[in-house]
């Protein structure tokens, strides 16, 4: 059984038909999947057993996704492609810009300019499309998202950046050390923009990466 990673798939979300929340959707090889369950890393045997039961005994088309700190089981569904469209609120783009700038600034402040350069190089290599849409990493770091024109990012761009940003933050600082400090950069957002972004983050598959269990409960 192939173990897929976030690099192999595309993530998006659709509006739940009966609830005021968005549902994570995974796309792989022109097929769409919905989330069935999440397993901790030490539950790999249970996750594989669940996948085996669904595919062999029930004849379902399912995939098992290996994420940085968990495994997730997804089942194939049919869904109209137009439902996958998502108009990105400006709050999301502003927040993502602030997070990139904040984490880069922390790397430079605490680890030095050499490490900051390495951080920037890695981020550009791993998330080239959204960064190129801004005009390059230098332009991204200088852009003031509160007053300047925002980049034309879609949800895939946002998810790509946040996934890679979290991976690099974990690499440079350790998983539990950087996220709360980086997220504090969102305090400069105006009105309810921070809440709008964090609500979306909590409902997406990214919530388990960036938010603590307490935070996920707060924004559920």
Q: What is the pLDDT of residues 6-21, one digit of tens each?
A: 888 888 777 665 556 6
pLDDT tens readout for residues 169-214: 999 998 667 999 999 999 999 988 898 899 888 877 788 889 876 6
How many residues comprise the chain? 220
Nearest to 73 by CA among 109, 103, 43, 111: 43
Task: Provide the pLDDT for residue 85.
Answer: 46
Nearest to 95 by CA among 199, 171, 10, 24: 199
Q: Which residues of the chain fall short of a pLDDT of 50?
A: 1, 82-86, 219-220
- The three-state secondary structure class of 16 is coil
Task: Provide the pLDDT for residue 21.
Answer: 62
């Amino acid at each position: 059984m192939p173990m897929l990673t976030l690099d192999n798939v595309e993530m998006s979300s659709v509006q739940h038909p009966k609830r005021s929340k968005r549902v994570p959707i995974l796309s792989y090889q022109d097929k769409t999947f919905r989330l069935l369950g999440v397993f901790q890393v030490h539950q790999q045997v249970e996750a594989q057993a669940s996948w085996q039961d669904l595919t062999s005994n029930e004849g379902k088309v399912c995939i098992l996704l290996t994420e940085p700190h968990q495994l997730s089981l997804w089942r194939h569904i049919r869904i109209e492609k137009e439902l996958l469209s998502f108009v990105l609120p400006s709050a999301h783009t502003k927040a993502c810009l602030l997070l990139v700038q904040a984490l880069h600034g922390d790397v430079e402040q605490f680890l030095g300019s050499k490490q900051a350069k390495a951080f920037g190089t890695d981020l550009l290599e791993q998330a080239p499309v959204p960064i190129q849409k801004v005009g390059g990493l230098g332009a991204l770091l200088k852009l003031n998202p509160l007053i300047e024109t925002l980049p034309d990012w879609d949800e895939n761009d946002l998810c790509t950046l946040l996934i890679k940003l979290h991976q690099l933050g974990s690499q440079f600082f350790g998983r539990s050390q950087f996220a709360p400090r980086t997220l504090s950069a969102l305090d400069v957002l105006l009105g309810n923009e921070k809440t709008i972004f964090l609500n979306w983050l909590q409902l997406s598959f990214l919530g388990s990466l960036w938010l603590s269990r307490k935070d996920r409960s707060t924004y559920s």
